[in-house]
């Protein structure tokens, strides 16, 4: 903004304040031109940043007109700007003496008392503001904060709710109030609150969801169901409410009851593809993949752009172990979704399973190509990188596996699975003591993150065994077997340790158990 424009705006503001002062004085039929002149001088000095001289000018104006509210208020603001808090307080007290309902002065006095931690005094000022303007959101927020400082959280919650009622976008205020009532175990206040709000906004699903969860947490199942039914009666076309009703039926009456309920809703509202999608997922979860398949095909005929419908349709074949059909179907749809990460990763997973079944390099390469296509869409996706590492390992490409695990560790230093697997892989075969020590460091980091993981304990035990710490190795492998006593590889490791210790009979028992679980 140019200096010329700034001066112009300040001049206009000065004239407004002066006119305000004149009008206020004129109502009494007396005003002093000397006060006006001094006031204008003060405004000019304040705009120029000459605060001390401006204060002097305002004081001179007040000496000519001691009852000029606007001049006292301007002086108070300037005192605050100059960090002269006590002088500001005195000027503001003079303002409300002259004009008891001046909201701005009461707010500033409240702020001054809050800053001085005189919370009770601050509360009095903001309560006076609310007596004048009961919907003053700033005063409501400050009052809530003061009650918090005074330790009266229930009153704090009441004002936070009032704040939310004025502006329903202030969800944090509502959440804080809810948390206060929960901490106080005051469930009646919460249910009364949500009942009141839901009556005002019956289709606001986040409120409905909170009330339903609250009822369920209190074991008030029939109240939850009655609430849902009453809301659906008011808004039968709300698909969000119908979806929530289905979830409630599932919690209360089980999966099949939820399927029956949603089937009826879908028959009544046949164009609601969102609910059909939800019904499809319920059917898949219930093992009714064939029924879900026909429903999903119907959805995709109308909405071929729905990637989640495609993935669910693919799962209807995976659910019945028809992996080739799942592959064929997904490959047919995939060109329409070149940027869909999840579909590409799903194909990579399917092709991995096919490669494991067939065990040939062509299928492993196809799986890796699909997995790397997914990785291009999300270069640091850890799940995809782990899948790639697994596929590479199955294909016998050891160095690439190690590189992939190092990449994972670089992305996330606390990826315990990558730490463990890397440690185990680098110790395979004949390796140097330095390599074994480095491997021990990696697996120890994994165990810090996940200390009760049976495979990690076995990895550590096997590395310690190779380092010659045989008793320590036995302790770790034994802890692994306590968690999972049927792991053939770990049983073999214990057999090797016992054989090394000269306990051939005990070792033989572990070898026999390992053969049993292979």
DSSP output for 348-393: HHHHHHHHHHH--HHHHHHHHHHHHHHHHHSTT-HHHHHHHHHHHH
* pLDDT classification of 30: cutoffs 50, 70, 90: low
More confident residue, 344 or 238: 344
How far, CA to CA in Å, does 287 sit from each of 252, 255, 276, 277, 396? 20, 11, 16, 15, 36
* pLDDT classification of 28: cutoffs 50, 70, 90: very low
Q: Is the pLDDT of residue 24 over 60?
A: no
Q: Is the pLDDT of residue 106 over 60?
A: yes
Is the distance from CB of 384 to CB of 351 less than 8 angstroms? Answer: no
- Write down the pLDDT at residue 155: 92
Q: pLDDT tens digits for 112-132?
A: 999 889 999 999 999 999 999
270: Cβ contacts below 8 Å, ≥ 6 apart: none
Q: Is the pLDDT of residue 391 over 60?
A: yes
How far out from the chain centre does Cα 363 lie?
Answer: 40
Q: pLDDT tens digits for 202-225?
A: 666 676 777 777 777 777 788 778
Q: pLDDT tens digits for 232-279?
A: 776 777 788 788 888 888 988 899 999 999 999 999 888 889 999 999
* pLDDT classification of 400: cutoffs 50, 70, 90: very high
Which of 313, 258, 263, 264 has the alpha carbon at shortest distance from 284?
313
- Write down the pLDDT at residue 248: 84
Give the mean pLDDT of 440-464.
96
- Write down the pLDDT at residue 148: 92
Look at 11-25, 193-207, 404-418 and tell me which has the smallest mean pLDDT.
11-25
3-class SS at 506? helix
Give the mean pLDDT of 2-26.
42
Q: pLDDT tens digits for 141-195?
A: 999 999 999 999 999 988 998 888 888 788 788 778 878 887 887 777 877 777 7
In the chain the domains, ranked by start, together with CATH numbers, are: 1-99 (1.25.40.10)
Query: For residue 327, how many other CB atoms are within 10 A of its CB?
Result: 20
DSSP assigned state of 43:
H
How far, CA to CA in Å, does 264 sit from each of 261, 269, 289? 5, 9, 19
Task: Work out the mean pLDDT of the chain and round it to a whole number.
Answer: 87
b/e sequence 413-451, b meaning 16+ C-beta within 10 Å: eebbbbbbbbbbbbbeeeeeeeebebbbebbebbbeeee
Rg over CA atoms, the chain: 37
Q: Is the pLDDT of residue 504 over 80?
A: yes
More confident residue, 80 or 409: 409
Look at 77-86, 207-216, 434-443, 451-460 and tell me which has the smallest mean pLDDT.
207-216
Q: Is the pLDDT of residue 435 over 70?
A: yes
Rounded Cα distance, 218 and 212, in Å: 10
Look at 221-230, 271-280, 307-316, 444-453 and tell me which has the smallest mean pLDDT.
221-230
Rounded Cα distance, 473 and 462, in Å: 6
């Amino acid at each position: 903004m140019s200096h010329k424009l700034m001066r112009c705006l300040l001049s206009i503001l000065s004239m407004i304040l002066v006119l305000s002062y004149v009008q206020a004085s004129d109502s009494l039929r007396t005003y002093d031109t000397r006060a006006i002149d001094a006031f204008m001088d003060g405004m000019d000095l304040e705009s120029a940043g000459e605060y001390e001289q401006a204060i002097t000018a305002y004081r001179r104006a007040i000496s000519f007109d001691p009852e000029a509210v606007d001049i006292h208020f301007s002086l108070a603001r300037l005192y605050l700007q100059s960090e002269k808090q006590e002088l500001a307080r005195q000027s503001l007290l003079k303002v409300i003496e002259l004009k008891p309902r001046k909201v701005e002065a009461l707010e500033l006095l409240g702020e001054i008392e809050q800053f001085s931690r005189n919370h009770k005094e601050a509360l009095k000022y903001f309560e006076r503001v609310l007596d004048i303007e009961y919907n003053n959101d700033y005063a409501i927020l400050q009052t809530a904060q003061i009650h918090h400082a005074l330790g009266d959280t229930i009153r704090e919650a009441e004002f936070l709710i009032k704040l939310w009622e004025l502006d329903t976008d202030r969800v944090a205020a509502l959440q804080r109030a809810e948390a206060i009532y929960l901490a106080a175990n005051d469930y009646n206040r919460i249910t009364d609150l949500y009942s009141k709000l839901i009556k005002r906004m019956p289709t606001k699903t986040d409120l409905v969801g909170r009330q339903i969860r609250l009822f369920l947490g209190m074991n008030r199942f029939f109240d939850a169901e009655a609430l849902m039914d009453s809301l659906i009666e008011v808004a039968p076309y709300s698909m969000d409410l119908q979806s929530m009703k289905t979830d409630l039926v599932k919690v209360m009456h089980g999966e099949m009851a939820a399927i029956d309920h949603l089937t009826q809703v879908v028959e009544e509202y046949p164009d609601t593809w969102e609910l059909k999608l939800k019904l499809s997922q319920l059917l898949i979860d219930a093992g009714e993949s064939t029924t879900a398949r026909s429903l999903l095909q119907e959805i995709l005929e109308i909405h071929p752009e729905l990637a989640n419908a495609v993935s669910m349709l693919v799962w209807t074949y995976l659910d019945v172990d028809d992996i080739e059909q799942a592959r064929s179907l997904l490959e047919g749809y995939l060109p329409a979704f070149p940027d869909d990460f999840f579909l590409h990763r799903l194909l990579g997973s399917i092709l991995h399973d096919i490669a494991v079944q067939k065990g040939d390099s062509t299928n492993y390469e196809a799986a890796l190509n699909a997995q790397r296509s997914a990785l291009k869409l999300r270069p640091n996706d850890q799940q995809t990188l782990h899948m790639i590492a697994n596929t590479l390992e199955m294909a016998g490409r050891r160095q690439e596996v190690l590189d992939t695990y190092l990449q994972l560790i670089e992305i996330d230093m606390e990826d315990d699975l990558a730490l463990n697997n890397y440690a185990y892989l680098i110790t395979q075969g004949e390796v140097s003591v330095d390599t074994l020590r480095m491997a021990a460091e990696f697996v120890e980091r994994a165990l810090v993150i996940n200390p009760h993981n049976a495979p990690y304990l076995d990895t550590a035990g096997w590395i310690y065994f190779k380092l010659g710490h045989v008793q320590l190795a036995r302790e770790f492998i034994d802890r692994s077997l306590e968690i999972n006593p049927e792991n053939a590889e770990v049983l073999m490791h214990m057999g090797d340790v016992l054989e090394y210790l000269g306990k051939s009979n005990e070792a033989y028992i572990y070898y026999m158990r390992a053969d049993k679980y292979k």
